[in-house]
């Protein structure tokens, strides 16, 4: 059943009685088979969050018709909602600089079928990883950062040209300009090599070493205009002690960074992340 085509409905709306009943009744009336359902009521914001997976073949209409029909229910409850189709793979464009551990991990998961996305291209401000990426049969675009404004316009143009859905910063060591953050709001994912909000900005492992922390970590988050302050999708940590050097911490951190980025991207691709102000609801 897991391989069957599915529609995934995600929504948030003001919390009130009858939301789950209305959505469930909508699918039941049309013979829809719900195979996964998750809910969360946020008492602080007064909003309700829902995610449901429905077997596409159980419905008598396609996704476009479903959107039209479900809009009636959505208006009744003032829903912000989206519908995704598992038959349409998300197109993920990857940005990378010189460090390859996150890129290598994502490409391995993609080649093995574990990460079910299309990767139309990889963009970098260095040439170092060209042969590695092209060996995978993926186009590689080198965009030097001499003129940063022009470089980021070129990156945006490549993303649009390749019909990208999501832009992943896989240790891309450049700060995206505010205009790009606004243009692709909710569509840009970054991996930061610290357990945010601790040690934002440059050289977080050095900051952690100087502070003498006992835990270091990594954070996958959406990119916003505020540096390293976007809604957090996923995090993890590893314990260290006084005997660990900065180099040790960097080495430990690489393992956390790649696994946290892979998990965070998977949650995003599977429509498991709903943003609420600067926080997220993640249905795992």
Largest CA distance in the chain: 63
Residue 202 confidence (pLDDT): 87
So which residues are the catalytic ones? 228
Whether 252 and 236 have beta carbons less than 8 Å apart is answered as: no
Whole-number Å distance between alpha carbons of 225 and 182? 7
In the chain, the domains with their CATH numbers are: 6-85 (3.30.70.260), 92-282 (3.40.50.170)
The pLDDT tens digits of the residues spanning 102-126 come to 999 999 999 999 999 999 999 999 9
β-pairing, 140-142 with 122-124? Answer: parallel
Burial of 65 (0-12, 13-18, 19+ CB in 10 A): exposed
What is the pTM assigned to this prediction? 0.95
The owner of tokens 């909000």 is 197
Spans of the chain below 50 pLDDT:
1-2
Whole-number Å distance between alpha carbons of 197 and 195? 6
Q: Which residues touch 252 (CB under 8 Å, ≥6 apart)?
A: 216, 238, 240, 244
Residue 201 confidence (pLDDT): 87
Instruction: Based on DSSP, count helices (H) and strands (E) in the chain, helices before strands.
Output: 8, 13
Residue 1 confidence (pLDDT): 43
Q: Phi first, then psi: what are they for 79, rounded to 5°?
A: -85, 140
* Three-state secondary structure of 79-97: CEEEEEECCCCCEEEEEEC
Residue 149 confidence (pLDDT): 96
């Amino acid at each position: 059943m897991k391989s069957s085509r599915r529609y995934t409905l995600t929504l948030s709306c003001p919390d009130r009685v009858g939301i789950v009943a209305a959505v469930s009744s909508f699918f039941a009336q049309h013979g829809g088979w719900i195979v996964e359902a998750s809910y969360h009521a946020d008492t602080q914001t007064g909003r309700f969050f829902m995610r449901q997976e429905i077997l596409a073949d159980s419905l008598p209409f396609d996704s476009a018709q479903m959107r039209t029909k479900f809009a009636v229910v959505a208006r009744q409850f003032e829903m912000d909602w989206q519908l995704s189709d598992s038959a349409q793979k998300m197109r993920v464009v990857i940005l990378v600089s010189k460090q390859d551990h996150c890129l290598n991990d994502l490409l391995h998961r993609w080649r093995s079928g574990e990460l079910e996305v299309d990767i139309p291209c990889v963009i970098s401000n260095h040439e170092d990883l060209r042969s590695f990426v092209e060996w995978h049969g993926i186009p590689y675009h080198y965009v030097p950062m001499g003129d940063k404004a022009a470089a980021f316009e070129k990156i945006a143009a490549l993303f649009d040209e390749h019909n990208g859905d999501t832009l992943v910063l896989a240790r891309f060591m450049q700060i995206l300009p505010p205009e790009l953050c606004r243009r692709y709001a909710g569509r840009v994912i970054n991996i930061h090599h610290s357990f945010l909000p601790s040690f934002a900005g440059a050289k977080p492992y050095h900051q952690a070493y100087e502070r003498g922390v006992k835990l270091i970590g990594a954070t996958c988050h959406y990119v916003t205009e505020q540096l390293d302050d976007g809604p957090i999708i996923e995090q993890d940590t590893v314990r260290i002690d006084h005997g660990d050097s900065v180099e040790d911490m960097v080495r430990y951190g690489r393992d956390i960074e790649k696994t946290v980025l892979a998990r965070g991207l998977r949650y995003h691709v599977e429509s498991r992340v709903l943003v609420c102000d600067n926080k997220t609801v993640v249905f795992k």
